[in-house]
Amino acid sequence: MAVDPTYPLYPALCILSAFFMFLVLTHSFIRQSWNLAVTLLCVGLFLDNLTLGINAIVWRDNTDIKVPVYCDLVSRLQFFMRFLPSMTSLLITRKLYVISKMRDVEPPSRKTKLVNSCVEWGWGFAYPIFMTAVVYTLCQDARFIVDEGFGCAFSASNSWFSIVVILIVPAIPPLISIFFYCPLIIRTVYIQRKGAGDSFLSNGSISRTPYLRILALGCLDAVIILPIAVINLLAFFCTLTAPGTFPGYIGWAANHADFLPVGIAYDSLTDTPWDTFNTYFDNVQAPLLAIAIFALFGLTSSARSAYWSRIGVVTKLLGCKPRVRLPRQSASQTTDSLTFAAPTGEQGVGRNRTRRLTRYSFSNTTFADSEMGKAEELGKTESEFQFTSTPSIQDSKMEPLAV
């Protein structure tokens, strides 16, 4: 019998969240619209949620040390995902910032493209890899741990070095995003919204959805990511005992003296109310973030149309005749000409194994779908609004900003 009273809801939630990320990725693949930060985040959340669901099923009632190679990979994936959401969130907000300050319709120079590519690959992929391959080995005190009911996870020693790396460092990118990038994004959207005020008043069919979505994207760090990081930090300190005994860093030899995998019973994970909160809040962050991303990317009009077309293909393969859906015009299908684009180119954990640092400190997010609806100008033909990297809305060679 499973020790988690919510079983099988938790593994079902994880697998469903992984499926949502799969839908977002396949939709982007079909449309050939990619944004590196969003793609990295979706791939990471897909793998993380899928493995969390598998772990919750396999170790639902035991702490057996099995499939060690799988646990090695999963524990490092979890540590990798400690830093990926925060950095991709910052890169996404940075992209919005770059787009908002663009006034030139000329494509960026080759040097600019190279710089942007290096920044995105360096901070979005190389930085989390470095933290996982190098920094994790400095604070890792066991090969991996197995939490009863939740499966294998990474382990870190009881030291201030581990606390800073695992809980404080991931909170820095959303702070940069909130205090540096977000104010300019909000200001730009406000100015464009104010400039389009007459159109809103004279044409009731024009939707406010694009403005609201851009604001939601720009403020995602403040609304979701940073609060999660703060709650993780507070929850850890509330479960911490005798912090005065924590060393700054216990050293490589002490960390790796006893490096065998360790199992932790469910009773130890839920010993106090704070321990229970810490354990469950730590494990539901990945599926909740995936659902938030799917709400922004996977429920747009273009995505829903793609889902219906795939359902039609499946029903035809099964020998069923799908019902014909007539096109329907609605107020949400037209928006004003929002030019928001840029040129193309682009607890204690460790020896006291009854507690460990929260597994998943998030600080990021994602982007709206590249196709935000249709823009309608007075006396002009309709053109697609795309959240892209060129000010020319009608440019056929547009690089979508979001998946």
CATH classification for the domain delimited by 9-386, as one of 3.10.100, 1.10.3470, 2.50.20, 1.20.1070:
1.20.1070
Please state the length of the chain: 403
Map out the domains of the chain as residue ranges: 9-386
DSSP secondary structure letter of residue 300: S
- Alpha-carbon dihedral sign for residues 7, 11, 17, 22: negative
Alpha-carbon distance of 60 to 4, in angstroms, equals 7
**CA 189 to the chain's CA centroid:** 23
* 403 residues of the chain, pLDDT tens digit each: 788 888 889 999 999 999 999 988 888 777 777 778 888 999 999 999 999 999 999 999 889 998 999 999 999 999 999 999 888 888 888 887 777 676 655 666 788 888 888 998 999 999 999 999 999 999 888 899 999 999 999 998 888 888 889 888 988 988 888 888 878 877 877 776 666 555 444 444 445 565 566 566 656 666 777 787 788 788 777 767 666 667 888 888 888 888 889 999 998 888 888 888 888 888 998 998 899 888 887 777 777 787 777 777 777 777 776 565 555 544 444 333 333 344 444 444 443 443 444 443 333 333 334 333 333 333 333 333 333 333 433 333 334 444 4
Alpha-carbon distance of 260 to 265, in angstroms, equals 16
- Alpha-carbon dihedral sign for residues 139, 287, 262, 269: positive
DSSP string, 333-355: GEE--------S-----SSSTT-
The SS3 assignment for 267 reads: helix
